[in-house]
Structure formats: C-alpha cells, structure tokens
Amino acid sequence: MSKFKTLMKKREFRTLFFLVAIFIIVGLVNSDFLTIGTIQNSLKSSLLYIVLAVGLTVVLLTGNIDISVGGTLGLSAAVSGLLLKNGGSIFVSIVVAILIGAIIGLINGLGVTKLKISSFIMTLGMLEITRVIQVIYTDGQWVENLPAGFKQLSQMNVLGFNLLLIIVMAGVIIVHLFLTRSRKGRYFSAIGDNVDGAILLGVPVQRYVTYSFIASGVCAALAGLIFASQIGFISTTAGLGIEMTVIAASVLGGVSLSGGVGTVIGATIGAVIMISINSALIYMKIPAFWNDAISGLLLITIVVTDAVLSRRADKRTKKERLKARVLHQEEVSINHAHAK
Amino acid sequence: MLMLSRIPKWNLGLIVVLILEIIIFGLINPRFWNISILLNSFNDFIGIAIIGFFVTLVMITGGIDISGGSIIGLTSVVIGILSQAIGLNIWISIILAIVAAGLCGLLNGILIAYGRVQAMVVTLGGLLLYSGIAIVLVGVSGVSAYEGISGFPGSFSNLAYGTVFGIPSSIILFIVLFIIAYVLLHFTKYGRYIFLTGINQNAADYAGINTKKIIASTYVLSGLSAGIAGTMLTSYLGSARADFGSEYLMSILTVVVLGGTLITGGKGGIIGTALASIIVGFLRVGMQMGGVSTQYIGLATGLLLIISVALLSISSSTKENMKKLLRPKFMKEGNV
C-alpha cells in the first residue's frame, strides 16, 4: 500500500492517470476509440513529438530552454530530404541530419555558456535563423518526391508493432535510465536544481549545459527525419510552431521549466496526451477548431493545480521540520500520544 | 557633452544604429528617405511597438509575456463578431474587445502572481488558449476562417489610415502609448515598484510593496496593449481573422530585448524599446525596398537579437555588478 502511495506521489504517474482517463472517457462516448489500432495510431503520430520532448527535457532539466527545435527539425529534414532526392543513400542522409542538429545544438550551447546569452533569447534567435537558412537552401521550394524506400522506414512493422515506435520507446527508456541511474546523467538535473551546488561538487556545468543543447539538437534532427519519412514531403513551414506544443507537452508531463525536476517518461506521456486530444476530439465528434482552446485550457489547469498541490506539500513538510526542530524528540512523541 | 553623457550608452548605441540604418537604406534606395513613406511604415510595426512598451514592464518585473500575439487575433475576431455578426456599434465592439484583451491579461497576471506559476508556462498556455478561443469563435459563428470577417464601416478604417493635423494616426498612437508607458515606468511610484519587484521581490515585499498586485497589473497592461494593437491591425487590414499577430511573438521579444531590457528583470527602459521597435520596423521596410524577399528578414532580426544580447550581457553585466557594488544608488540606473 505504501509503495502505491509513493507511486501516486510521482508526477508522471498522475499524468499517466490523466492519459488513461482521457482514453476511458472518450472510449465511453465512442467505443471505436479503444481499439489497439487507434491507440497505436495516436502513438505513431505522437512519435515526432516524443522525440522532440525527450531532447527538450534534457535541456529543461539543466534549467535552460530550447525554442529552436522547430527550426532544427525543418532544416535537417530539408537538407537530408534534398540529399535523398538527389540519389544520396539513406545512411548518409541520416548522418548529415544528425550532424546538422548537433552543430546547431553546439552553437546554442556555446552561446548560452560562453556568451552568457539567456537560453530563451539565444534559441529564439536561432529558430529564426535556421528557418531562413532552410528557405535559402531549398530556394523556398517544397522538398517532394522522397524515395519510396525512405518513406517505407516509418511504415515497417515488427511483430505487429511499428518499428520506429519500438526504437523510440527503447530510446526513451535508455535515456531515462541514463538520466536517473548513471552518475553523469544525473549531472543534468543537478545543474538545474542548484548550479552553484553543482559547481562545488565538481560538475563541469558549462560542458554539460552544452551537451544538453547538442542532445536536443540531435533529437530535433531525428524528429525531422521521422517527419520526412512519415509525411513524405517537407514544406518550408515544416515544424512551424511545433516548439510551443513540445514545451507544453513536457510541462504537462511534469518537467519544470525552472530546472531539476522531471523525467523523459513524463515528457513522453505529455506528448502522447497533446496528440491524443486531437484524435479524441474526432472520436467525440467535436469540431477540430476546439483543439487549441482545449489544449491551452488543459495546460493551464494542470500546471496551476500542480503548482498549488506541490506548494501545499512543501508547506506541510516545512511545518513538520519546524516542529521537529522546536520540540524535542520526546515531546514530539508525547504530542503524538496526545493527538491519539 | 553633459547632455550626451546623460543618455545611457545602450540607447546612444541604438540611436547610432538607427541613423546608420536610415543612411544605408537611403543609399541603396533613395525612396527610403521619403518622409511620408517612413511615417506611413509605422502602420506595419505599430502593434509590435505598443505591445513591446508594456511587455517591457512585464519583463522588468522578471516575468515574460508570450501571449500578446494571440490576444491580437482574439481582439480582432471579437471586434468582427460583435460588430458584424451581432450588429453592435463598431466603437462599442472595440471597447468590449479591448476589455476582453485586458481580461486575458488579468487571467495571466492572477495565475502568475497569485498562483505563483512560472510566467513562461502560464503565457504559453494563454498563447494556446486565447488563439484557441479566437478559432472557436470563428468556427461557431460560421465565418470562413480563411477570408475572415470584413465589411467594416469606413470610419473604422480611418483609425489606421486617418491623419491628425497631417500626421498619420498610427504615429499619434505610438507617441501617446509611448508617453503613457514612459511616464508610468519612469515618473511614478508604480514604476519604481516595478523596478524594485524585478530587482528583488522578497526585499520589495518586506518594504511593504504589494508585489503580487504590481506583477498582476503589468500583465493586464500588456493584455490591454495587445487589444489596442489588435484593433489597429484589424483596422489596417480591413478584416478580422483569428491568426492575426501569430507571427508577432518573435518580433515583440526582439524589440524589448534589443531595447536593453534584461530578460532576468530589474533593468530596462521604454526609450530603448521604442528605438528598437523603430530600428526593427525600418529594417523590414528597408529590406523590402532593397529588393530582399520578406522571407530573409528573419535572418537579420535573429542575428540582431543574438548579437545585441551577447553585447549586453558581456559588457554590461560585469560593469553593472561593479556599479552596484560601488554605488548603492543603483536605482538611478533604471531611470533612463
């Protein structure tokens, strides 16, 4: 029972609970929603967002933010798409995309750590710059007619499950284990929790912040490849405004924007929620124009409730600590006896 | 010389950039030196400028407001629906729409100040919510989302195209709102409290300032300014659409940050924001006249943003710290 309680207290669990609730409620209204096919479809369409949210979470953990993911996604997708179209091999184009993501991430990271530019501003500027570079590189044209072999990548199935889905899920679990179990992985949340403390403990803060931006850039590039493979063409506005959805997804999943708190699993669940709302609305026969309003309302409600709840919990622990400090141990136990 | 030294270095730099910009663009295309073209170009960035004035206040308290762009769309749709679909008097609809924009700001402010949720998260939710409400309003009223609501009376389009004593009304609005924001921030107790809250909220609280009220009020002002911007944009473009202002987010933040306001709060000024908004606005006009496609303008503004902030943080953060250490009267610094 106590184990269940600690599980309940975990933020990700509450989000998961919420996701299940959405599925059940929509399933009650329209039972077609609760088939394996629909669930796998909504997971498949949220793949892109999951990958972006994982990368973003690493940055958010360090207390920074990366708004440039949409631009990185578009640019890497466009460059590797053109490569593929001109007969390049799939392997080369994947490597090129990852390299582009890593370079953009490196520039972001160096700007934040060396030039001391606030990460919000740095990546906002980078978002705009990468968009223009994409337009220049593609001449303002859409990249169409990608080779069928590449498009098939996103449709491959293994044992009845989508191959990409399996890979991404495995990736999420590996990143989660790295961030929570390994010494170096925990540096990221240590930096976000308390920079000065991390420095005193000998964490190379600047290097790890840069790493986090590189991770986010690489994830955005991978998301770009998924985008190209799933959709089959890359418009000049590919990934426009996606950054806001991804930030909202991470926050929904319990990742704090002030750093140090959150897990990639939570962010993944958040991403699935954000996308499931779309298909849930369709199954509930609500017009699609309610989409943004509902997502926004949901985000605000969840975040505000969460803030209020966590503050109340904070207050309680503080009170308990104060009690323990003011009263001696015996008195506390006497008080307890009285109370009983 | 004394006068020059009284102007903060950052603003001086902005003035130099502005003059250089006018000279360079003029050399590329002499039409740029045509005063009436320059004055009329204010219509293109008036929205960015007036929201920027009040987002400056928000940012000085240490917050951020990214919902301004979506409030523009909401205001526009509310004006359109109230006046065209319901048939209210256009001026009453405008007032109601601006009140609605203020309410959006109030919701942001209450959640941020009293709910103590991060400003970025709340205004991100607001960004989705307000543009979502605008889309819902359009969807429910059955107007074509692409064409928007049009057919406004001529007196309404005079808001953007009219002139007062030969001066375009957008310039008058720019100046009026500039003066309001400037006086509020630099000449009133309220403005001092805004700076104090941004420098150290706890200290301000202990000094007996109701910092929550101060913070919440800055978001209301920012929402109201977005409402006014939405009204102007609707009048300028002659139709009401939900996606108006959706691309303003980047420009608004660029203008405020380029104006020398620290994103961490506590320092900044309205003059800087005003100069920066003119620089960015003229940049757009100048590049268009120089034959550069509008798609490339983002490269210039993006670079401008990063470079200016890099300069600000490298040169001024160390200097500021020294000044703060040496002189206890650092409040004067904010008083540009």
Q: Where are the domains of chain B?
A: 46-310
At B327 the pLDDT is: 60
Give residue B227's pLDDT band: very low, low, confident or very high (50, 70, 90).
Answer: very high
Query: Tokens representing B315?
Result: 């040169």
Query: Tokens representing B226?
Result: 């977005």
Q: How far is CA B244 from the centre of its chain?
A: 15
CB contact (8 A) between residue A121 and residue B305? yes
At A328 the pLDDT is: 60
Which candidate in A112, A119, A128 is best for mutational testing of the B interface (most B CBs within 10 A)? A128
Decide if B76 contacts B135 (C-beta within 8 A).
Answer: no
pLDDT in tens, B77-131: 999 888 877 778 888 889 999 999 999 999 999 999 988 888 888 998 898 899 8
Buried b (16+ CB within 10 A) or exposed e, A245-266: bbbbbbbbbbbbbebbbbbbbb
At A87 the pLDDT is: 78
Give residue B336's pLDDT band: very low, low, confident or very high (50, 70, 90).
Answer: very low
Residue B96 CB-half CA count within 13 A: 14
At B223 the pLDDT is: 94
What's the whole-number average pLDDT of chain B?
83
Chain B residues with CB inside 8 Å of A257's CB?
118, 120-121
- What's the predicted TM-score (pTM) here? 0.83
Chain B residues with CB inside 8 Å of A126's CB?
302, 306
Kindly provide the ipTM of the predicted complex, given to two decimals. Answer: 0.78
pLDDT in tens, A25-51: 888 887 777 777 777 888 888 899 999
Query: Where is pLDDT greater, at A201 or A279?
Result: A201
Query: Tokens representing B333?
Result: 């610094």
pLDDT in tens, A115-139: 888 888 889 889 888 988 888 888 8
Of B121, B310, B314, the CB nearest to A303: B121
Query: With 90 as the cut, is the pLDDT of residue A104 above it?
Result: yes
Give residue B334's pLDDT band: very low, low, confident or very high (50, 70, 90).
Answer: very low
At B301 the pLDDT is: 79
User: Of B154-168, B260-274, B315-329, which range is least confident?
Assistant: B315-329
Q: What's the Cα-to-Cα distance from B61 to each of B10, B56, B197, rounded to whole Å?
A: 20, 9, 6
Domain architecture of chain A: domains with CATH: 2-286 (1.10.3470)
CB contact (8 A) between residue A116 and residue B111? no
What's the whole-number average pLDDT of chain A?
84
Query: Tokens representing B147?
Result: 């064409």
At B4 the pLDDT is: 54
Give the pLDDT mean for B131-154. Answer: 78
pLDDT in tens, A241-250: 788 889 888 9
Chain B residues with CB inside 8 Å of A303's CB?
117, 121-122, 125
Give residue B75's pLDDT band: very low, low, confident or very high (50, 70, 90).
Answer: very high
Place of tokens 């609809």: B93
Give the amino acid at B84. Answer: Q
Give residue B297's pLDDT band: very low, low, confident or very high (50, 70, 90).
Answer: confident
At B293 the pLDDT is: 75
At B23 the pLDDT is: 87
At B105 the pLDDT is: 94
Return the number of other C-beta atoms located less than 10 Å from residue B68's C-beta: 35
CA–CA distance, A332 with A339 (Å, rounded to integer): 10
CB contact (8 A) between residue B263 and residue A120? yes
